[in-house]
Structures are given as C-alpha cells and as structure tokens.
C-alpha cells in the first residue's frame, strides 16, 4: 500500500501541545499536512495559560520541514472555538481536518463535585467539541470535503468513579459525532470518534506501574487514518489502547413485545428483555435513528396483523 499522505490538507488539532494531540500533530505534519497546533497551555484542571506547549510543537514541526502555527485560544468558549478555526483560514485559507483532543480533569465523587468542577470539564470536552465543530462544519460542507475526529473515552461508554463530569462529557461527544456524521454525509464530510488510551499527564492520578507500553504514538496512526481522505467510515467509534484497535458500537436486545403492559408483566418478561442472543445494531449512518423506530413499529404491526384466534401469547415472540 502506498503511504497515506496529507499533502495540501489543513488540520486543526486541539490540545496539541502535549500528549496525544502532539503525537497527532507530528504524524500528520510528517505526512504533509499543514497544522494549527491549538493548546491554551493550562494545567490539568484547566487553569492558567501558556503559549509554550503549542509553540514548542509548532517549532518542532517546522524544524522537521513541515508547516505549523501555534494557537492558544481556548475551546471552552464559542469565541475561542471561532478564533481557532479562523486561525486556520487566516494562515492557510482553508480547513480540511478537525481533531478535537483538548481535555482537562477535575476528580471528585458525586457527593463532593462542585458546579465549578463540573462546568470546567464539560466546557472543554463537550462544549469545546461543539465550539470548534460549529464554525468548521459549514466551511467543510461548502468545500464538499471534511474529516472530523472527536475524542470520547471508555469512561463515556462504561463510566468510572470520581469523574462524573468527564464521563458525561465524553458520552455527549458521541451524540454530537453522530449528528455531524448524519448531516455531513451528503456534503462529503465524515465524522468519527476515537476512544484512546495512552499514558500521558492525564493519567497522572492513576497507578500506571502495571500498564503495558501505552505511548501516544500507538494511538496516532488510528486517528490519522480517520482523518485521511481514504477513510470510508462515518458515525463510528474506534478504540485504541495498548496496541489494540477495535470498533465500539451500541447494540440492543431483540426485546419483548406486548400491546399493553402491567408492572408485573415487565418483571415477568425481563429475562427476555435482557437476553442478548441475536442482538441488534442500528448504525447511525445512514439512518440508525429511523431504522430503530421502524423496527419497534414493525413489532407492533406484526402483532396487530395476527389472527385474533391464533392462540398466541401476548408476550415476547421474536
């Protein structure tokens, strides 16, 4: 296979001054992309501003022969998101790729989490994804091409203790990605989600001594493929952790049907409701939302069309 290159493509990467974002920026730049290295340079909690992380990465790319500019605007506000995209337009005249990777952490249990802790994390991870996607998306649609990669987490799928703010934000990113994938499909714009795992400063509060090798460079090729023009998928989630790459997806059981329910019947049919044999998937693209509705409606129609004297139970035929 020939090298997958990004010549003449412009990529905006948020949180690119360190860790995963830096690895993404260096890899795409090495393959010809022109980069906006966005990073406000704050600490893990999101406080503070420093131009050094973004400028260091932009300089590293330039020394290697690539093209990059630093941008320290914050994704946490609509104005910051707009300014980040405008930096790409001002310097390069276009935007082809958006990778939202910026993140922060504020650990607290649900008993102790403050509103400030909640807002600070949601503002960067979830609202930040919207703040940069909102100005970038119409530009991509107008140009008939775009690749958007949003960052979620296994915490967004499965939850974790003491980071409700983070898990909620990462779950929300998945919904945003599905909408961008759906609305972008007729416009040549694809959007997918990466669920990465790497030992970076974000893992600082965990004991990583028993972890296998997990550098950001193991994740970067997966993100680069999602950002490449040859990527055929949209509205999907890829996991990349410790060298394993996998697809994550939402599934449903076949379930049970009754034309009317009592509380007792819900309890009675719960083994069928929870039986995962023959699980169903409804991919967001091209029409998972409507396929889901149609499937549920078809069960009701099938029941209404049964002969009244069939003798069938009202309970859960599949």
- 269 DSSP assignment: H
Both tokens assigned to 259 = 């034309």
Q: What's the CA gap between 194 and 174, in Å, rounded?
A: 10
The torsion defined by the Cα of 90, 49, 21 and 217, in degrees rounded to 10, comes to 140
Task: Reply yes or no on whether 166 is catalytic.
Answer: yes
CA dihedral over 192, 197, 200, 203, signed as positive or negative: positive
- Active-site hit among 166, 211, 257, 290: 166
Q: What's the CA gap between 315 and 19, in Å, rounded?
A: 53
From residue 3, give the alpha-carbon distance in Å to each of 13, 99, 208: 21, 21, 34
The torsion defined by the Cα of 273, 238, 89 and 76, in degrees rounded to 10, comes to 60
Q: Give yes or no for a contact between 317 and 311, defined as CB atoms under 8 angstroms apart.
A: no
Catalytically annotated residues: 166
């Amino acid at each position: 296979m020939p090298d997958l290159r990004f010549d003449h493509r412009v990529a905006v990467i948020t949180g690119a001054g360190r860790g995963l974002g830096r690895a993404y920026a260096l890899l795409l730049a090495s393959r010809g992309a022109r980069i906006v290295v966005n990073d406000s340079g704050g600490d893990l909690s999101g406080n503070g501003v420093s131009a050094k992380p973004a400028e260091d990465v932009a300089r590293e790319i330039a020394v290697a022969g690539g093209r990059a500019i630093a941008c320290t605007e914050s994704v946490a506000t609509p104005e910051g998101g707009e300014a980040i995209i405008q930096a790409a337009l001002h310097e390069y005249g276009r935007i082809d790729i958006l990778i939202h990777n910026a993140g922060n952490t504020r650990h607290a249990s649900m008993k102790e989490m403050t509103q400030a802790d909640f807002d600070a994390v949601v503002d960067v991870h979830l609202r930040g994804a919207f703040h940069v996607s909102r100005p970038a998306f119409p530009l991509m649609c107008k140009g008939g091409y775009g690749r958007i990669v949003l960052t979620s987490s296994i915490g967004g799928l499965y939850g974790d203790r003491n980071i409700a703010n983070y898990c909620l934000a990462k779950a929300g990113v998945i919904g945003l990605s599905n909408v961008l994938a759906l609305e972008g499909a007729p416009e040549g714009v694809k959007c997918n989600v990466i669920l990465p795992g790497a030992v970076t400063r974000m893992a600082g509060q965990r004991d990583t001594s028993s972890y296998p090798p997990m550098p950001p460079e193991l994740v970067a090729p997966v993100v680069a493929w999602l950002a490449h023009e040859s990527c055929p998928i949209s509205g999907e989630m890829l996991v990349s952790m410790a060298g394993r790459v996998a697809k994550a997806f939402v599934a449903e059981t076949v379930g049970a049907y009754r034309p009317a329910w009592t509380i007792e019947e819900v309890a009675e049919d719960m083994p069928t409701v929870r039986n995962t044999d023959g699980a169903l998937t409804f991919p967001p693209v091209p029409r998972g939302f409507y396929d889901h509705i149609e499937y549920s409606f078809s069960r009701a129609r099938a029941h209404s069309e049964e002969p009244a004297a069939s003798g069938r139970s009202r309970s859960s035929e599949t």
